[in-house]
Structure 1
């Protein structure tokens, strides 16, 4: 019917095929072609049934992101959905790849659905701070029942074709969408099946109408981790409308909820985060046509916390790794930790029961660096000192094959210096995973001065393959994430010397939306580690040292900045800590004052923004949005705030600068404003207007 929608007829079956690569998104042209095709098929007296399918790798994957924020073009969504749903001839949606968002909503107005075995079906709008706005919250509960609908809509995660069949979302699993859809359409005609319009079928709502707890329990379960986010709760309420209200009224209330969320700040921030992650995939300065090197074998050096976590990430993705240690004892310990972690995840239902054994089988634990000889990618995750890392990389010249990518997992150290230990600096870069590496999604890919373009492309590609979010950064102390975080951590410590307590500082951070506060994080890491490091360097941190001298080493000791009851990880404020802090301040001749929560927030967060401006000015990162992606996936920055640079734009760079100047005057150079920030304010611009590296 147009360039993106094709109508064919196989005797009595009309086949409508959408071909709008790469993901058959519902652009205005697709909607127009779909409406015209369905109307033509309805008007054709020879046609008795219609099959809706898609060319390429996937079914309709949702809205066309190229049209976000632009004036709507006809036909409207309502017109398109009504044409499909009101067709007097049966329409079969034949799904393959991803049937997500608006794609699944289109399938839900069709009278029947079939899908291929590998298809995924879902309504992920909540992840953009929205809810399904084309009837998804009203039709999906009628298709699968409110309990599963809550999980899919409030949680936003898709289900498999097998589960879709089990719960009645689809009628059959087919091998090929077009031919399978056609075969099912002929079965519908042969069996004279009545059209099933979900809007008219309340049968799967009956149980929840009789027992409201079926719905409320599902909502409680799916919203318990949604602290601070609006969309999951509004979406849950919309599913409730399907149970409580007539269909048309439920649709009206759904649209009200969608419009409320769409106009709000959270959805704008979450949409920004979505596009920021996409932008991070574009590597600045990479020559056009650069291909990544083939990676068939991976070796990881070090089976400690980080090395083991990285190995788990590869095994989780089904990629075999060689895990190298210096002794059998250390290797055995590391392998045991991985086994226990996977078994614990399986026990709570996070992975299948047979997954731990399958994933352990992908990890070949060996002793001796010579075992890296066949690896295409080698990731070093040894002790965080330059001397140890240089020793490892100098030996890799002897054992690593030519062309192997050599990556260091260092958190702070110079990749340029590490590269000097080899005769192949073009193959050396950083792959900084965040702890725990098997859980955290961020991977800072550190481009050194001599890193070859294809080596960089290889690291980015393999990070994506193991479900990480790679962000390319440059060489500096702490790279992007830790460099910015250290500024905040430093202020958290200083606030204790002025009158704040750990629980106040941490409460401000968690109220803001961070997953945990600075001092809980210190307790989890172990206070003795920093204490020993300070002793080696001849550095003191009076309050932290006092805690360690009192045996308060953190969670593992049952007491640190907080106390912990036996077997519990819940931090509890401890009067003993307040006493120790008070005694330390008295000994140092310092007086406590009342520190407001607003001051705590500004002193923790504004230095992060300021340091981000310096990083951009130095060209360490390519885009402000890259810094935001680092914080979203490396530190758990609340997605509904978009990231520190985006957040700064929302509150006003002029306000941030004014407060930094105020703190600079009273608290010193920790708050000296970045020249880039001053320039942006002078020009009336935002970070979001920086399209290229500032340098």
Structure 2
């Protein structure tokens, strides 16, 4: 609790000896007074003794070492170390001296970058998904889901866990049966881990219907289309579904990069159509990008946002563009990582440098986990800018059948039944050989350059999205990357990181890279305006440069 700042349930606190009793009842005050009446004063603990001798030396480092290491990933290195130092002072110093030392530690930490970043993250999460002047959302009690693959079943689980009725429709009875098995297998796993009890399991399965009949979705309050990421397929499914559900049913597509406005052409009454980009695994990941389709009514947007919150998600509004907020930035980040490998770095060096910065995983490990073929299809769906240099290694790996963990080889190789990445010289040589064919010589690339280039691409891409109106506010960009892509929370998010570093410094570094490497480093207009005027990025949007 101390090093992570996370509370524990009352029962757990009792088991740990942190509290004397856990009481229940309609009148909790009366129950507490009754309990106190039955206690002898000697059982309630000793009063503080300011002049007591220091406690015996204890090895606190060993006792909380594992928790300290884990906490550093979420709240940064300084606060857990400060908590440890305060604990040590409490165990080794007289009370007055220990309290003085604790106050000194607090006064240092409260003005740190990590403290400011964590406070920014706290408020960014609460601001995300707020729609000015939003009308009352439509009530949602029954959800229809089209598609029983990884995303469809994941969304179904999120809805079931929130107490909603779910009807999942697949193309035939066999596919519907497989989808039901995926869902019940996960619920059985949750039961085995103690996340739900048998009563909860029965309630969830009782609210689930899987079917091959399209007419079974007719009574849904909200429909989520979650079929394969193919525009023609999605439009065909949406056209049929929109004519089956009632006129008040809100219709959403789960897509990670396709044109939501074009999909709306297939929907009867596109005013009730919206995008909802869930992240995998959908019953665990908190983030949902709610995509403002061009013709979506305010009531539709309000309902989609309220539905996301109802199933325990943090919705962030995003406009329509390729990849929306998160994946458009991810593409720039991942491509810069590929440029770095072309120039002489290795995938493991890039990943290690960026996890050292605080990311949960490096871009190459993430790509192998997700499947290289996923981004390959995305790249094939999008025309390439004329004259743009394109790192070819990821495509070549896919052409060789190296899709990542699913094939035991991608940027890394994997032993059978293992998810541990093993550095693979063959993948490095493929990337370096293709780069040499394109006239790019390899050199020594420092970890500092890796971090700066990768993070600056995120900062610049996020500022572009803000300036284009795809993101509502800078803090929304940060919320997306904190909850969907593993950006270190204790750095606040890409745009907060840029603000703390200073927009003049950011603009200067971008211009230096642009002079060396070309157009992909052109500073976003909002960054130039913020640097010139000394204002926040939100204030700089729309200012002439």
* TM-score when normalising by structure 1: 0.70
TM-superposed CA distance for 1:468, in Å, is: 0.9
- List aligned pairs for 1:540-559, cutoff 5 A: 542-559=392-409
User: Is 1:224 equivalent to 2:73 in the alignment?
Assistant: no
Instruction: Answer whether contact 1:616 1:694 (CA < 8 A) is retained.
Output: no
Q: What is the Cα deviation at residue 172 of structure 1?
A: 4.7
The two structures, once aligned, show a CA RMSD in angstroms of 3.1
**Counterpart position of 1:336:** 181
Structure 2 contact 325–471 (Cα < 8 Å) conserved: yes
The superposition leaves residues 209-253 of structure 1 with CA deviations (integer Å, 9 ceiling, x where unpaired) of: 79858x844542464353343323332443454544444444333
- The alignment status of 1:448 with 2:293, answered yes or no, reads yes
Contact 1:528–1:548 (Cα < 8 Å) also in 2: yes
Structure 1, residues 566-620: CA drift from partner, whole Å, max 9, x if none? 3321212122223333333344443212223233223212222222222222222
Higher relative contact order (CA 8 A, sep 6+): 2
Q: Distance in 2 between matches of 1:343 and 1:481?
A: 32
Q: Structure 2 residue aligned with 1:404, among 245, 249, 260?
A: 249
Tell me the equivalent position of 2:317.
Answer: 472
Task: Name which of 310, 321, 326 aligns with 1:481.
Answer: 326
Moved more, 628-637 or 612-621: 612-621
Q: Does 1:253 align with 2:95?
A: no
Aligned partners of 1:663 and 1:671 also within 8 Å: yes
Q: What's the CA shift for 1:281?
A: 4.3
Superposed CA deviations along residues 419-446 of structure 1, whole A, max 9, x for unmatched, are 2212211111111111221221111111
Aligned equivalent of 2:501 = 651
Task: Kindly report which structure 2 residues correspond to 1:9-88, keeping only aligned pairs within 5 A, or say none.
Answer: none
TM-score normalised by the chain length of structure 2:
0.88
Partner of 1:322, secondary structure, is strand
Give the SS at the match of 1:685: coil
SS at match of 2:414: coil
Are residues 1:294 and 2:144 paired?
A: no
- The alpha carbon displacement at 1:191 in A equals 6.3
CA distance in structure 1 between the aligned counterparts of 2:483 and 2:325, rounded to whole angstroms: 13
Q: Is the 8 A contact 1:619 1:693 kept in 2?
A: no
Q: Partner of 2:115 in structure 1?
A: 267
Alignment match, 1:598: 448
TM-aligned CA distance change 1:605 to 1:438, over 3 Å? same
1:58-108 CA deviation, whole Å, 9 max, x = no partner?
xxxxxxxxxxxxxxxxxxxxxxxxxxxxxxxxxxxxxxxxxxxxxxxxxxx
Distance 1:349-1:236 versus aligned 2 partners, 3 A rule: farther
Structure 2: which 5+ residue stretches go unaligned? 385-389
1:392 alignment partner in structure 2: 237
C-alpha separation in 2, matches of 1:226 and 1:453: 41
Distance 2:98 2:542 in 1: 48
Residues 479-534 of structure 1, C-alpha deviation per residue, up to 9 Å, x if partnerless? 11111221112222222222222112212211111111111111112224455676
CA contact (8 A) 2:342 2:391 kept: no
Distance between the aligned counterparts of 1:535 and 1:689, measured in 2? 37
Partner in structure 1 of residue 478 of structure 2: 628
Would you say the 8 A contact 1:506–1:518 is kept in 2? yes
User: Are residues 170 and 653 of structure 1, via their aligned partners in 2, closer, same or farther at CA, if it must alter by over 3 Å?
Assistant: same
Shift of 1:328: 2.8
> In the alignment, what sits opposite 1:687?
537
Is the counterpart of residue 422 in structure 1 residue 267 in structure 2? yes
The DSSP-based 3-state class of the residue aligned with 1:226 is helix
- Contact conserved, 2:332 with 2:457, CA < 8 A, in 1? yes
Q: Which has the larger displacement, 231-240 or 477-486? A: 231-240
1:363 Cα deviation from its structure 2 partner? 2.6
